[in-house]
Copies of this chain bind each other. A is one copy, B any other.
Amino acid sequence: MTPYQPTPDDHFTFGLWTVGNPGRDPFGHETRPPIDPVDAVVRLAELGAYGVNLHDDDLVPFGSRATERDRIVERFRAALADTGMHVPMATTNLFSQPVFKEGAFTANDAQVRRFAVQKTMRAIDLGAELGATVYVMWGGREGVEADAAKDVGAALDRYAEAVNLCCAHIRDRGYDLVVALEPKPNEPRGDILLPTVGHALAFIDELEWPEMVGLNPEFAHETMSGLSFHHAVAQTLWHGKLFHIDLNGQRIGKYDQDFRFGSEGIRDAFHLVRLLEDAGWTGMRHFDAHPYRTEDHDGVWEFARGCMRTYLILKEKAQRFHCDPEIAEALAAAKVAGLREPTSPGGLGTASLDALRTADIDPSPLATQGYGHERLDQLVTELLLGVR
């Protein structure tokens, strides 16, 4: 068997909108014809993926009648059954249609908000029907350019209300679904609400059913702000809120690039894979990326293959990281395990406080000790470059 050959056990998934991306960008028309969702399922199955994810409109065109909708869904379910592919995650398109130009859950016009919630409820029904267990919410239009036009506090009230309504719908229907919020700092709006993983984590604590809601962090979105994606995911795990993840490639301070996983930011990608594997993450490795606009359909499948291969290569490196004796030595020199030791072994009581208050600690030797980070980081670099 060729190494780095993906199988369904690897839990790789792609959005229909990723391999189906036709290459349109802000300055250019489509360069590729559309791909039939059924063909995408078949092809991704052949490549070893576990499943596909979708926005409502990816499968059922906006404005379709109920009978048409059912026919499309039936044909799609048949393709899933034939290939053994799953739809572990579903989501709603609340950004393409002009009705959402001023926002969806946080639009100033209450009717727009109601339309957005209704569309999401129906998309949740579709997701549940297809077997999805995670519902992603990306609020790409929940923002503003002209700051005077949006009361941010009121917008957060409405945002929370909308998420609560969707959770109520899930509960009312008895679906086995959790919700994953996807933060993004900007684009297509000048500033988007819940711009980072942190803002969304904090927001969850104000919801009616916080236990139903977690995050879908995206590599590109955190990286746009110059934040470490692997730190973002680590904090999300720390809060017990990693419900889904979007993998791709991105350079800091640029337009939303959504490049092939690992093509940009390979160092951060390695630490991320190490984190997910060490944490025993059993969820999906979802790729929310798209092929370069230069590609024809052959390039699309090379793109999909590349995303999965790079993950597997990095996963192997993450395993080697733990077996490499020089790395182990450098980790010890850097005292990495020392961080698991409590600072106050006796806890928060007065006796422990007194012990800390009066401890006689000489900072001088602590100030001069070296931590060997240059050596450690060089060892990791060489592991990444495949020369150890």
Q: Is the CB–CB distance between B386 and A387 below 8 Å?
A: yes
With A226-B185, A254-B226 given, is the CB distance from A108 to B296 under 8 Å?
A: no
In-complex Cβ contact of A359 among B118, B149, B201, B352 (8 A): B118
Binds B, one of A7-15, A35-43, A156-164: A156-164
A83 within 8 A of B: no
A276 within 8 A of B: no
What are 16 of the A-B contact pairs (CB < 8 Å)?
Answer: A23-B101, A27-B141, A99-B363, A108-B339, A114-B343, A117-B356, A118-B359, A145-B373, A161-B343, A196-B198, A198-B202, A206-B238, A263-B378, A266-B267, A302-B378, A385-B385
A349 neighbours in B (Cβ, 8 Å): 168
Query: Which one of A25, A112, A371 has the greatest number of beta carbons of chain B within 10 Å?
Result: A371
Query: Which one of A109, A203, A366 has the greatest number of beta carbons of chain B within 10 Å?
Result: A366
Q: Is the CB–CB distance between A299 and B372 below 8 Å?
A: yes
Q: Mark A180-208, 1 if CB is under 8 A from B, else 0.
A: 00000111101101111111111111101
Q: Is the CB–CB distance between B146 and A380 below 8 Å?
A: yes
In-complex Cβ contact of A154 among B28, B275, B339 (8 A): B339
* Copies per complex of this chain: 4
In-complex Cβ contact of A363 among B115, B310, B372 (8 A): B115
A219 within 8 A of B: no
Q: How far is the CA of A302 from the CA of B191 in the complex (A)?
A: 22
A78 within 8 A of B: no
With A252-B253, A294-B370 given, is the CB distance from A117 to B335 under 8 Å?
A: no
Q: How far is the CA of A311 from the CA of B30 in the complex (A)?
A: 37
A133 neighbours in B (Cβ, 8 Å): none
With A111-B366, A148-B331 given, is the CB distance from A255 to B252 under 8 Å?
A: no
| A321 nearest in chain B by CB position | B148
A109 neighbours in B (Cβ, 8 Å): 335, 338, 366, 369
A197 neighbours in B (Cβ, 8 Å): 198-199
Q: Is the CB–CB distance between A336 and B121 below 8 Å?
A: no
In-complex Cβ contact of A370 among B117, B295, B364 (8 A): B295
Binds B, one of A67-75, A84-92, A228-236, A280-288: A228-236
Q: Is the CB–CB distance between B155 and A382 below 8 Å?
A: no
In-complex Cβ contact of A153 among B201, B227, B234, B293 (8 A): B234
